[in-house]
Amino acid sequence: MTALDEPLGFTNPDYYRDAASPTERQLRADFARYYQLREIAPSAATAEARAEFNSRADELAIRWARHETEHWRGTWAGLQRVVAGWRTQPEIARRNYDQIARARATGEVAIDDDIWRTLQQARLITGHGTGTITGSTQDAARRYPYLQPNMGTTLAPTTRADTDIDRRTAVERTLGAPRNPAVALPSLAKVDAVIADTDELLETEEAAADLDDGRDARKMLLPRAVRDAPISADYSDTETWQRRHADALREVQDLAAEHSTIADGLNGVDDQARIARLDRLRAGLSAARRDALAIGLTDAQVHTAYTTGRDGTYWATQPSDPQLGRIAQLLEHRDLARAAAEAYRNQLTSAPATTADPAIPVTHGSRVEAADAPMRGDGTGAAISTAVDVALPDTDLGEWSPPDTDPAAKEVVSRIDREVSL
């Protein structure tokens, strides 16, 4: 048995003699052990020891966070929230605790004993208490001298009247609180508001608790130019093959899913047409599987795509290959973003033409530009582009005038003007 395995101090179930049941005693002892392991893990001598501490802490957390009884699950979660409050906002947690303690002492607020024990334990194990929970003192002098029953306490005076005893805490005396606590007792509504604010604060801070694993510190070891440098590697060839692989798997999965959907819908009505479609889908599926294997996909990938589609799941719903599916999704988002950016760029480029001087007539110019294209282009590609532009309807309005230094363009314009006048 190692030193951490010894049930001493807060980690000893017998320490919590005021608990309502043995289960509660074990829970509170396990939470103290959990907190202890979390505290010492970052300071472990080796990475193996740190991993062991975290693993043992996780086992305790899983045991109680998934306990079959809802009450114990809630008690464990409550301890985590209150401890997180003491660690992140100790001054606020101390002020709220003192107000609740005074209200409970006077009977103004009825607080469940189990909740009160949770508040006390969280305060003590985080080192913010002036005393300890009444409990076992086994080996306390040897291992935990600060857990002695008389630590932080004062013997009751015998020479003064009870009304003369200063029962304020050190913090209250420093802040100038009145000697008579009844004078400063908060109202019930105020206590409820404090409890509500505390719960809200603890829920907010819970997500940030125990998340400091040193990553931010490691990042700061690198200069900003290295941390934020964009990736400059060329993945164009890889992207091409990944896109082809994703398209091939999608074809296999969607064909199989469509086949299953139609087969499940056979109901005796127009079944011959559906059977013919099933035959075409089956033939297409076989060809798609062969093509997928031919471009380098493995048998396992193709078979997974087939079985996923056979179960009725289309690629758009859940890709059979998560990695290729995610890559295809990112490429699709990128292409859509590029198309949107290009559309905005075209709008900005054409804005001056559409907002020209209203005194100047605006004429259709696409056919003129199409006729002028062979003068500016060269080769088969330019001719094809010109043919496409001529075939498209005139949708873009804009002002156009041929360059003065291009006599061929002037001749084209003159010929078109004569045709229009006819």
Domain contains 46: yes
Q: Which of 131, 155, 181 is the last residue of a domain?
A: 131
Q: Which of 131, 147, 164 is the last residue of a domain?
A: 131
Q: Tell me: the pLDDT tens digits for 152-183?
A: 334 444 444 445 566 667 666 666 666 666 55
Per-residue pLDDT at 171: 64
Domain contains 299: yes
pLDDT level of residue 36 (50, 70, 90 thresholds) = confident
pLDDT level of residue 249 (50, 70, 90 thresholds) = very high
Domain contains 420: no
Convert 301-336 to b/e letters by CB count within 10 Å (16 or more is b).
Answer: bbebbbebbeeebbbeeebbbeebbebbeeeeeeee
Domain contains 69: yes
Q: Tell me: the pLDDT tens digits for 317-363?
A: 999 999 999 998 998 898 999 999 998 888 888 866 544 454 444 44
CB atoms within 10 A of CB 391: 8
Domain contains 249: yes
* Interatomic CA distance for residues 208 and 215, integer angstroms: 14
Give residue 251's domain range.
235-329
Q: Which of 104, 131, 158 is the last residue of a domain?
A: 131
Domain contains 43: yes
Per-residue pLDDT at 257: 92
**8 Å CB contact between 202 and 85:** yes
Q: Which residue has the higher pLDDT, 369 or 178?
A: 178
- What's the whole-number mean pLDDT along residues 400-415? 52
Domain contains 375: no
Per-residue pLDDT at 416: 52
Q: How many domains does the chain contain in total?
A: 2
1: which residues sit within 8 A by CB, 6+ positions away? none
Domain contains 261: yes
Dig out the tokens for 111 from the structure. Answer: 């607080």
Per-residue pLDDT at 211: 55
